Amino acid sequence: MTDMTSEQVEQLTGVATQLRCDSLRLIHRRGAGHPGGALSAAEIMAVLYFDTLRIDPTKPDWEARDRFLLSKGHASAVLYSALARRGFFPLTELDNWGEVECRHQGHPDRLKTPGVDMTSGILGHGVAIGCGLALAARLKKQDYRTYVLIGDGESQGGIVWEGAMTAAKFKLDNLIVILDYNDVQLDGFVHDIMPLEPVADKWTAFGWQVIHCDGHDIRSIQQALAVAQSTKGKPILLIAKTIKGKGVSFMENNSYWHGNVPNDHQLSQALAELGQEVTDD
């Protein structure tokens, strides 16, 4: 992975904006979803899907592909947008997102949606499942990496730390976990409900290599991932500092928008703030 040019940074910044707009439109159309955590992860998803991951949309089950697990599965809108924009399926398929017979469910389903590597919904399982995929790569002598995106509220669950212990025991340096650290969960601020700090020290104590980055800075994310890929002998955690609802003034740092749906007026305002019109594709 080489350093990005200014043109590449600009392009991926545009991708992140598109992922945000797609997510808002999808949630508004469906009448359900989780905008806050989708918007906070947009740059992370842009860098992963359009720069970092070794994937082939024409072969979603390619054995040598990198794996990506959205452990915070309620943020599925941004994943579906990334998969569609990357070419795994037409964006128009998402018009029926969440319907019973649709292959795009409210939470990602690996048996239904091309490009989805883990069925998620119950929080906390991504790190442990990532351990299994990383161990499988080692046993099969394959060089793919497994990337897991987790939430900070999710990290209050004990199963996250069981996975963390397992990864450290087996020195899974082909496992990269990214913490979307926006400090807001369903009912308020993470630091009020169940504080994670000192979060870096905890992961370090569990035997992980910890790397910090600005989760809304394309170059910072890309450079952090490059360091992660060069790390040997330890699993890696990227602590990506983010803002819940990033890019939309009335959603930022507001727990109401963890799982609520914008009305027509709110959607128009949000898209205008992001530089798009309601009718833009």
Which architecture characterizes domain 6-273 according to CATH? 3-Layer(aba) Sandwich (3.40)
pLDDT digits (tens, 9 = 90+) for 192-206: 999 999 999 999 999
**pLDDT for the residue 3:** 78
Please determine, for residue 99, whether its predicted confidence score (pLDDT) is greater than 60.
Answer: yes
Identify the DSSP state of 177: E
Where residue 38 falls among pLDDT bands split at 50, 70, 90? very high
Run of H or E including 39: helix 35-40
| Annotated domain spans of the chain | 6-273
CA gap 257, 279 in Å, rounded: 23
Share of the chain above pLDDT 70, in %: 98
* Closest to 232 in 3D by CA, of 176, 189, 159: 176
CA gap 152, 185 in Å, rounded: 8
The sheet carrying 175-181 orders its strands as 67-70, 146-151, 175-181, 236-241, 209-214
Share of the chain above pLDDT 90, in %: 91
**pLDDT for the residue 97:** 87
SS3 of 224, please? helix
**Average pLDDT for residues 209-225, to the nearest whole number?**
98
CA gap 97, 276 in Å, rounded: 22
